[in-house]
Amino acid sequence: MKNAGRRKAKTAVWVTPLLLLLAGCAQDAESIMGKSPLGATVAQELGGYRFHNTNSLRNVQGYAIESGNLAEPLKGRIDGSLVVVTDKDGAITAIIDRPGRRGALFVDKTGSRRFVEEPAYDYLKADTLKERAGPAQVPGADKPDKPDNDGQIDALMLFSTKALAVLNADPVAFALAQLETSNLGLRNSQVGGVSLRLAGVRVTETDLPVDGTGLVKVRDMLTPLRPVYKHDINVGYFDNSPYGGMAYVPGSASVNSIHHPLAFRHEVGHNVGGNHCNETGADNYRFGYQTSGGAHTMLCGNNIPYYSNPQVTYGGRPLGNARTADMARLWREEAGRMSGYSPAFEGTRLIYVSTQPESSAIVAFIPGRSRIGVVALSSEVGPTSLTYGGPGVTTLTAKLTGKDGVARSVNLRAMRQNSGCPRTTMNSTLVCHPDFDGGPVQLIIGYSALDNPELPPGWYNGTVTLEARNDSDPNWRAPILVSLAVLR
Ligand SMILES: [Zn+2]
């Protein structure tokens, strides 16, 4: 009886991700709505504002992503927002925006906390460039009769080493939190079917300025990498911050100050094609909106977690105007372009940055006693077939690019873990106990300088493509795209 009860409980927990995987939404993983009460360390930053959680997910890499609005306690008016990303060890990256408190909160796994306030900034400062016209900038325009977009906007995020030093926390968690600030705005503004996801993280030793010159360079550096990362938008984070952010309007690239965690949700609105405030009342709905009560949507001042939408009421009045301020309409109209710069990647993304000793991702949930392992697609990278071998570490050799632009072979450590079983080599199909049948199969990627004695110091970036396979079903294959930013 006891054993049957355990198994039943386990099934209940794993049903949701299984359904999501079958639906092809591997990246969105499992809803944890209501399962993760806001920690006291974050709650003490809210100054009496009430947190209304509107989204809670755990992604395939084990990050819990939660977001919602902050309501003023007496009238319930939404005056701010909160995004919280918690990693598997309990470390927290939060982005807080409420009257009197705006910035990023970092709590490490030991509970040590650090709040970094966003400097006062005028989000109405002119901060856009016009994208060069031409099909080279909009690959989707080459094949309009075959739309390859799904409303999922995949972001490649570039951090300078100086930005990482300012952050002094996990850049993957910060990148996920950044994207969620915009996703929260889309949900609040009733824009369905459009969301932003993380495609990969790169690190550069060059701290570009957050201005027009930095923006051009980020676009020119990251756009040619679309076949590699299969991403849509290019996002840079730097320390040198003449502006809080700068973006193409319309377009697909932005640069953002690492000191301004609320900038990205504004800049990506420029990429969509939005301008600040429609002060002349012109016949053009591609603008943000401000209320007489001092609420400014993300494009028009950026102090409430909304894009303009005349269908949404705020303080009892419309938060937009169908003729002069309707960013929600623009997001819907532009979702195809924004998500169509690369074909959607149908598989699991694992993002590893050397600021962490290792990263993992769930690559499969298959019912029954399946024998699933992970293989490389080329013997120069790693083993290309499954084995029944057991414990050990697989060496993967990836071609990654250093600061001199030269691609070098970098050795990585790869392992596989089937539920609570011991770790095995990446391509092992070993299963350890029937209780773990049907559980998650994880791929674990790490890096050690010991494996790379000849590699010159510096950061190396790139991707490697792997594939999960099932020894019991030769036709089943699940692609894995690993984003690597490795520090030697
Ligand atoms: Zn702006």
Closest to 305 in 3D by CA, of 264, 254, 259, 265: 265
Q: Which pLDDT belongs to residue 167?
A: 97
| Per-residue pLDDT band at 133 (split at 50, 70, 90) | low
Is the CB of residue 156 less than 8 Å from the CB of residue 231? yes
- The identity of residue 101, as a single letter, is R
Q: How far is the CA of 220 from the centre of ligand 1 (A)?
A: 21
Q: How far is the CA of 67 from the centre of ligand 1 (A)?
A: 23
Q: Does pLDDT of 382 surpass 90?
A: yes
Q: How far is the CA of 287 from the centre of ligand 1 (A)?
A: 11
Six token digits for residue 405: 């632009």
ipTM over 0.90: yes
- Between 136 and 221, name the one with better pLDDT: 221
Q: How far is the CA of 270 from the centre of ligand 1 (A)?
A: 7
Q: Does pLDDT of 138 surpass 60?
A: no
Q: How far is the CA of 314 from the centre of ligand 1 (A)?
A: 22
Q: How far is the CA of 176 from the centre of ligand 1 (A)?
A: 21
Q: Which pLDDT belongs to residue 61?
A: 93
Q: Mean per-residue pLDDT for 127-145?
A: 57
Closest to 338 in 3D by CA, of 325, 353, 327: 327
| Per-residue pLDDT band at 434 (split at 50, 70, 90) | confident
DSSP element (H, E) containing 83:
strand 78-86
pLDDT (tens digit per residue) in 173-221: 999 999 999 999 999 999 999 999 999 999 999 999 999 999 999 999 9
| Per-residue pLDDT band at 22 (split at 50, 70, 90) | very low
The Cα–Cα gap between 233 and 209 comes to: 19
| Per-residue pLDDT band at 437 (split at 50, 70, 90) | confident
Q: How far is the CA of 438 from the centre of ligand 1 (A)?
A: 48
Q: How far is the CA of 7 from the centre of ligand 1 (A)?
A: 53
- Beta strands 128-129; 152-160: pairing state: unpaired
Q: How far is the CA of 123 from the centre of ligand 1 (A)?
A: 6
Q: Which pLDDT belongs to residue 34?
A: 64
Q: How far is the CA of 302 from the centre of ligand 1 (A)?
A: 9
Least confident of 18-22, 93-97, 323-327: 18-22
CA distances for 186 relative to 312, 321, 338, 348, 385, angstroms: 12, 17, 14, 24, 43
The burial of 3, by beta-carbon neighbours within 10 Å (0-12 exposed, 13-18 middle, 19 or more buried), is given as: exposed
Least confident of 36-40, 45-49, 76-80, 417-421: 36-40
Angle, CA of 407, 468 and 29, to the nearest 5°: 100
In the chain, helix, strand, coil percent, each to 5?
20, 35, 45
Q: Which pLDDT belongs to residue 30?
A: 75
Q: How far is the CA of 86 from the centre of ligand 1 (A)?
A: 29
Q: How far is the CA of 180 from the centre of ligand 1 (A)?
A: 19
Least confident of 1-10, 204-213, 282-291, 445-454: 1-10
Q: Does pLDDT of 81 surpass 50?
A: yes
Is the CB of residue 238 less than 8 Å from the CB of residue 207? yes
Q: What percent of the chain has pLDDT above 70?
A: 89
Q: Does pLDDT of 141 surpass 50?
A: no
pLDDT (tens digit per residue) in 265-274: 999 999 999 9
Which residue has 């640069």 as its token pair?
255
Is the CB of residue 208 less than 8 Å from the CB of residue 217? yes
Q: How far is the CA of 268 from the centre of ligand 1 (A)?
A: 9
Q: Does pLDDT of 368 surpass 70?
A: no
Nearest-10 Cα torsion for 192, 196, 197, 201: 180
Q: Mean per-residue pLDDT for 28-43?
A: 71
| Per-residue pLDDT band at 371 (split at 50, 70, 90) | confident
The Cα–Cα gap between 478 and 468 comes to: 5
Q: Mean per-residue pLDDT for 66-72?
A: 96
Q: How far is the CA of 198 from the centre of ligand 1 (A)?
A: 22
Q: How far is the CA of 273 from the centre of ligand 1 (A)?
A: 11
Q: How far is the CA of 301 from the centre of ligand 1 (A)?
A: 8
The burial of 71, by beta-carbon neighbours within 10 Å (0-12 exposed, 13-18 middle, 19 or more buried), is given as: middle
DSSP H helical ranges for 247-306: 264-272
Q: Does pLDDT of 24 surpass 90?
A: no
Q: How far is the CA of 30 from the centre of ligand 1 (A)?
A: 34
Q: How far is the CA of 381 from the centre of ligand 1 (A)?
A: 43
- Between 14 and 387, name the one with better pLDDT: 387
Q: Does pLDDT of 366 surpass 50?
A: yes
Q: How far is the CA of 173 from the centre of ligand 1 (A)?
A: 25
Q: Mean per-residue pLDDT for 424-432?
A: 92
Q: How far is the CA of 154 from the centre of ligand 1 (A)?
A: 21
Least confident of 140-149, 167-176, 321-330: 140-149
| Per-residue pLDDT band at 6 (split at 50, 70, 90) | very low
Q: How far is the CA of 334 from the centre of ligand 1 (A)?
A: 18
- Beta strands 233-238; 253-257: pairing state: parallel
Q: How far is the CA of 458 from the centre of ligand 1 (A)?
A: 34
Q: How far is the CA of 417 from the centre of ligand 1 (A)?
A: 45
Q: Does pLDDT of 329 surpass 90?
A: yes
The Cα–Cα gap between 111 and 125 comes to: 37
Q: Does pLDDT of 376 surpass 60?
A: yes
Q: How far is the CA of 130 from the centre of ligand 1 (A)?
A: 13
Q: Mean per-residue pLDDT for 56-75?
A: 94
Angle, CA of 363, 367 and 372, to the nearest 5°: 45
- The identity of residue 365, as a single letter, is F
Count of CA atoms in the C-beta half-sphere (13 A) of 33: 7
Q: How far is the CA of 299 from the centre of ligand 1 (A)?
A: 6
Is the CB of residue 379 less than 8 Å from the CB of residue 451? no
Question: Which residues are within 8 A (CB) of 349 and not within 5 positions of it... i.e. 6 or more apart?
Answer: 27, 60, 198, 199, 200, 361, 480, 481, 482, 483
Q: How far is the CA of 275 from the centre of ligand 1 (A)?
A: 7
Six token digits for residue 365: 């949930």
The Cα–Cα gap between 45 and 116 comes to: 12
| Per-residue pLDDT band at 385 (split at 50, 70, 90) | very high
Q: How far is the CA of 266 from the centre of ligand 1 (A)?
A: 6
Q: Mean per-residue pLDDT for 328-340?
A: 97
Per the rule left: phi > 0, alpha: psi between -120 and 50, beta: everything else, 62 is: left
Q: How far is the CA of 242 from the centre of ligand 1 (A)?
A: 13
pLDDT (tens digit per residue) in 150-172: 899 999 999 999 999 999 999 99
The Cα–Cα gap between 350 and 465 comes to: 10
